[in-house]
Structure 1
Amino acid sequence: MIKRHAFVSVPLLAAPFMVQAQAVSGAVERQPLNVQAIILFVLFVAGTLYITYWASKRTRSRSDYYTAGGNITGFQNGLAISGDFMSAASFLGISALVYTSGYDGLIYSLGFLVGWPIILFLIAERLRNLGRYTFADVASYRLKQKPIRTLSACGSLVVVALYLIAQMVGAGKLIQLLFGLNYHVAVILVGILMVLYVLFGGMLATTWVQIIKAVLLLAGASFMALMVMKTVNFSFDTLFTQAMAVHSKGQAIMRPGGLVSDPISALSLGLALMFGTAGLPHILMRFFTVSDAKEARKSVLYATGFMGYFYFLTFIIGFGAILLVGANPAFKDSAGALLGGNNMAAVHLANAVGGNFFLGFISAVAFATILAVVAGLTLAGASAVSHDLYASVIKEGKATERDELKVSKITVVILGFVAIGLGILFEKQNIAFMVGLAFSIAASCNFPIILLSMYWSKLTTRGAMIGGWLGLVTAVSLMILGPTIWVQVLGHAAPIYPYEYPALFSMLVAFIGTWLFSITDHSVQGQEERKLFFNQFIRSQTGVGISKSVNH
Structure 2
Amino acid sequence: MKKSAILPALLLPGIAWGADSISGAVQQRSTNVEAIVMFVIFVTATLFITWWASKRTRSRSDYYTAGGNITGLQNGLAIAGDFMSAASFLGISALVYTSGYDGLIYSLGFLVGWPIILFLIAERLRNLGRYTFADVASYRLKQKPIRTLSACGSLVVVALYLIAQMVGAGKLIQLLFGLDYLVAVVLVGILMVLYVLFGGMLATTWVQIIKAVLLLFGATFMAVMVMKVVGFSFSSLFSEAMSVHAKGAAIMRPGGLVHDPISALSLGLGLMFGTAGLPHILMRFFTVSDAREARKSVFYATGFMGYFYFLTFIIGFGAIVLVGANPAFKDASGQLIGGTNMAAVHLADAVGGNLFLGFISAVAFATILAVVAGLTLAGASAVSHDLYASVIRKGEATELEELRVSKITVVLLGFVAIALGVLFEKQNIAFMVGLAFSIAASCNFPILLLSMYWSKLTTRGAMIGGWLGLLTAVILMILGPTIWVQVLGHAKPIYPYEYPALFSMLVAFVATWLFSITDHSENAAAERARFRVQFVRSQTGIGIQQGKH
CA distance in 2, matches of 1:437, 1:353: 37
Q: 2:276 aligns to what SS in structure 1?
A: helix
- Amino acid across the alignment from 2:289: S
Residue aligning to 1:5: none
CA distance in 2, matches of 1:78, 1:100: 31
Any stretches of 5+ residues in structure 1 without a counterpart? 1-7
Q: 2:11 aligns with which of 7, 15, 19?
A: 15
What is the deviation of 1:498? 1.6
Listed one character per residue, the Cα deviations across residues 173-194 of structure 1 (whole Å, up to 9, x for unaligned) are 0001110111011001000000
CA distance in 1, matches of 2:503, 2:168: 29
- Between the two proteins, the alignment pairs up a number of residues equal to 542
Listed one character per residue, the Cα deviations across residues 299-333 of structure 1 (whole Å, up to 9, x for unaligned) are 00000000000001001101111111112223444
Query: Which range moved further: 260-269 or 397-406?
Result: 260-269
What is the deviation of 1:29? 1.3
Residue aligning to 2:38: 40
Is contact 1:70-1:291 (8 Å) kept?
A: yes
What is the deviation of 1:490? 2.0
Residue aligning to 1:84: 82
Residue aligning to 2:376: 378
CA distance in 1, matches of 2:334, 2:354: 15
- Amino acid across the alignment from 1:389: L
Is contact 1:12-1:112 (8 Å) kept?
A: no
Report the TM-score, using the length of structure 1 for normalisation.
0.96
CA distance in 2, matches of 1:94, 1:320: 13
Listed one character per residue, the Cα deviations across residues 94-114 of structure 1 (whole Å, up to 9, x for unaligned) are 110111111111111122211
Q: Percent identity?
A: 84
Q: 1:113 aligns with which of 111, 129, 132?
A: 111
Residue aligning to 1:501: 499
CA distance in 2, matches of 1:140, 1:290: 21
CA distance in 2, matches of 1:242, 1:225: 16
CA distance in 2, matches of 1:339, 1:406: 47
What is the deviation of 1:550? 8.2
CA distance in 1, matches of 2:10, 2:87: 11
Residue aligning to 1:4: none
Q: 1:483 aligns with which of 470, 481, 484?
A: 481
Is contact 2:144-2:391 (8 Å) kept?
A: yes
Residue aligning to 1:192: 190
What is the deviation of 1:274? 0.9
Alignment of 1:304-453 (within 5 A): 304-333=302-331, 339-453=337-451
- Amino acid across the alignment from 2:133: F
Is contact 2:8-2:430 (8 Å) kept?
A: no
CA distance in 1, matches of 2:263, 2:229: 40
Listed one character per residue, the Cα deviations across residues 269-290 of structure 1 (whole Å, up to 9, x for unaligned) are 2111110000000000000000
Is contact 1:16-1:94 (8 Å) kept?
A: no
- Amino acid across the alignment from 1:365: V
CA distance in 1, matches of 2:59, 2:246: 59
CA distance in 1, matches of 2:241, 2:493: 40
Is contact 2:109-2:271 (8 Å) kept?
A: no
What is the deviation of 1:551? 5.2
What is the deviation of 1:339? 4.4
Over 3 Å counting, the alpha-carbon distance change for 1:48 and 1:60 in structure 2 is same
- Amino acid across the alignment from 2:11: A
What is the deviation of 1:501? 1.4
CA distance in 2, matches of 1:500, 1:12: 10
Residue aligning to 1:168: 166
Residue aligning to 1:3: none
Q: 1:152 aligns with which of 138, 147, 150?
A: 150
Is residue 2:447 matched to residue 1:455?
Answer: no
What is the deviation of 1:549? 7.7
- Amino acid across the alignment from 1:304: T
CA distance in 2, matches of 1:280, 1:231: 40
CA distance in 1, matches of 2:335, 2:190: 31
Is contact 1:144-1:551 (8 Å) kept?
A: no
What is the deviation of 1:196? 0.2
Over 3 Å counting, the alpha-carbon distance change for 1:153 and 1:61 in structure 2 is same
What is the deviation of 1:21? 2.4
CA distance in 2, matches of 1:152, 1:548: 19
Residue aligning to 1:125: 123
Residue aligning to 2:293: 295
CA distance in 2, matches of 1:24, 1:114: 28
Is contact 1:13-1:270 (8 Å) kept?
A: no
Is contact 1:167-1:374 (8 Å) kept?
A: yes
Any stretches of 5+ residues in structure 2 without a counterpart? none
Residue aligning to 2:255: 257
Over 3 Å counting, the alpha-carbon distance change for 1:336 and 1:366 in structure 2 is farther
Is contact 1:126-1:293 (8 Å) kept?
A: yes
Residue aligning to 1:66: 64
Is contact 1:145-1:551 (8 Å) kept?
A: no
CA distance in 1, matches of 2:48, 2:232: 40
Is contact 1:468-1:514 (8 Å) kept?
A: yes
What is the deviation of 1:357? 0.8
Listed one character per residue, the Cα deviations across residues 180-217 of structure 1 (whole Å, up to 9, x for unaligned) are 11101100100000000000000000000000000000
- Amino acid across the alignment from 1:102: G
Q: 1:532 aligns to what SS in structure 2?
A: helix
Over 3 Å counting, the alpha-carbon distance change for 1:265 and 1:338 in structure 2 is closer
What is the deviation of 1:15? 2.0
Residue aligning to 1:533: 531
Over 3 Å counting, the alpha-carbon distance change for 1:34 and 1:366 in structure 2 is same
Residue aligning to 1:51: 49
CA distance in 1, matches of 2:83, 2:240: 31
Is contact 2:461-2:513 (8 Å) kept?
A: yes
- Amino acid across the alignment from 1:144: K
